[in-house]
Amino acid sequence: MTYLVTGGAGFIGSHLVRRLVGSGADVRVLDDLSTGTTANLVGVEADLVVGDVRDADVVRRMASGVDAIFHLAALPSVARSIADPQATHSVNVTGTLVVLEAARAAGTRRIVYASSSSVYGDTATLPKHEDLPTTPRSPYAVSKLAGEAYCRAYWRSFGLETVSLRFFNVFGPRQDPASEYAAVVPRFITRMLVGRSPVVLGDGRQTRDFTYIRNVVEACVLAASAPMRAAGETVNIGCGERTSLLELVELLNRILDVHLEPEHEPPRPGDVRDSQASIARAGELIAYRPAVDLRRGLTETVRSFATEVMNIA
């Protein structure tokens, strides 16, 4: 099998590339390295092209002859999208349309599209299921919802098989803690490893469905080979649980055997209050079941980050 992974040098993409290569697949990677890095792919036998997902000629060449495309390339982060909505729209929406057109021209069998739980917004219903109205609160969330709509339209209009996966708060090794838009888990871990208090935005009682990277990678692989009934569908990928940021801090304290109290700063515009995935539809359509729970995932992530800290020291 031959696959194209857009954004394959990024956090999620590089884990997926390693999984696909490990299964014997031929893998092509397209990444502009704006948020990804070649270091994430060291030792991996994959063909990397540094390019923009909005470059139709490049994407068309890379899509030629592939069995499926995993479209993960995007400008991530709610905060980034509020700072620069046009850039987020250009990469996330126009880039998705370019990928869909290239796949249609190449006769690609299926596209697996990386969407986000942020499309739900602040709906009060928990857990969040796929039939809920979507009320995105940020340009980033809007861009991901637009990508889902394009995927669904290409299935209905052109018969191009698409499966959209709404990821819930993915975390794991190689997630960049230094970025201005870093996710909460790597930020907490890297501070706590050196004895500094984690910084919590808001009161810390907001909840998230933290999902270990290995669960997300397996969901991508399952979506690529799922039966035809999954085509055109959107499914949640999470663990089906919710944890507050204060509970996350306490769990990390236990894993690290420390006692660090969080520091509080003002909440960030555009963030939702509570998030939890219903994963019943993912189980029905792509046979997804989370294999790694939060504590185990955090333990593996802490171990990975601790090794990096020791190597730097």
Question: For 14-32, how does the pLDDT look when each residue is reduced to its tens digit (9 = 90+)?
Answer: 999 999 999 999 999 999 9
187 and 177 Cβ atoms separated by less than 8 Å: yes
Predicted confidence (pLDDT) at residue 88 exceeds the cutoff of 60:
yes
Across the range 85-98, mean pLDDT stands at 98
195 and 260 Cβ atoms separated by less than 8 Å: yes
> How does DSSP assign 193-242, residue by residue?
HTTPPPEEESSS--EE--EEHHHHHHHHHHHHH--GGGTTEEEEES-S--
Question: For 35-49, how does the pLDDT look when each residue is reduced to its tens digit (9 = 90+)?
Answer: 999 999 999 999 999
Residue 179 pLDDT class (50, 70, 90 cuts): confident
Residue in 312, 292, 3, 21 with CA at minimum distance from that of residue 172: 292
Q: What is the DSSP letter of 128?
A: B
Q: What is the DSSP letter of 94?
A: I
Residue type, 32: D
Q: What integer pLDDT is reported at residue 180 of this predicted model?
A: 66
pTM for this one? 0.95
Predicted confidence (pLDDT) at residue 312 exceeds the cutoff of 50:
no
Question: For 34-84, how does the pLDDT look when each residue is reduced to its tens digit (9 = 90+)?
Answer: 999 999 999 999 999 999 999 999 999 999 999 999 999 999 888 899 999
Question: For 215-259, how does the pLDDT look when each residue is reduced to its tens digit (9 = 90+)?
Answer: 999 999 999 999 999 999 999 999 999 999 999 999 999 999 999
Q: What integer pLDDT is reported at residue 184 of this predicted model?
A: 93
Across the range 274-286, mean pLDDT stands at 97
Q: Where do the domains of the chain lie, and which CATH numbers do they carry?
A: 2-172+210-240+276-291 (3.40.50.720), 184-206+242-275+298-312 (3.90.25.10)
